Amino acid sequence: MDTVIAYTGGAARGNPGPAGIGVYIVEPGPTLVYEVGQTIGNSTTNFAEYQAVMVCLQSLIQLYSEATQTTHFDIHLDSELVKKQLNHESTITEPGLVPMFIEIHNLRVASFPYLTLTLISRTENEEVNRLVSEALDGKKK
pLDDT of residue 4: 98
Length of the chain measured in residues: 141
pLDDT at 140 over 90: no
CB atoms within 10 A of CB 129: 19
pLDDT of residue 89: 96
pLDDT tens per residue, range 85-117: 999 999 999 999 999 999 999 999 999 999 999
pTM: 0.95
Rounded to an integer, the average pLDDT of 118-130 is 96
Q: What is the DSSP string of 100-133?
A: HHHHHHHHHHHH-TTEEEEE--GGGGHHHHHHHH
Q: In which band, very low, low, confident or very high, does the pLDDT at 1 lie, cut at 50, 70 and 90?
A: low
Which domains are seen in the chain, by residue range?
Answer: 3-136 (3.30.420.10)
Q: In which band, very low, low, confident or very high, does the pLDDT at 139 lie, cut at 50, 70 and 90?
A: confident
Mean pLDDT of the chain: 95
CB atoms within 10 A of CB 81: 16
pLDDT tens per residue, range 30-72: 999 999 999 999 999 999 999 999 999 999 999 999 999 999 9
Up-side HSE of residue 58: CA atoms within 13 Å toward CB?
11
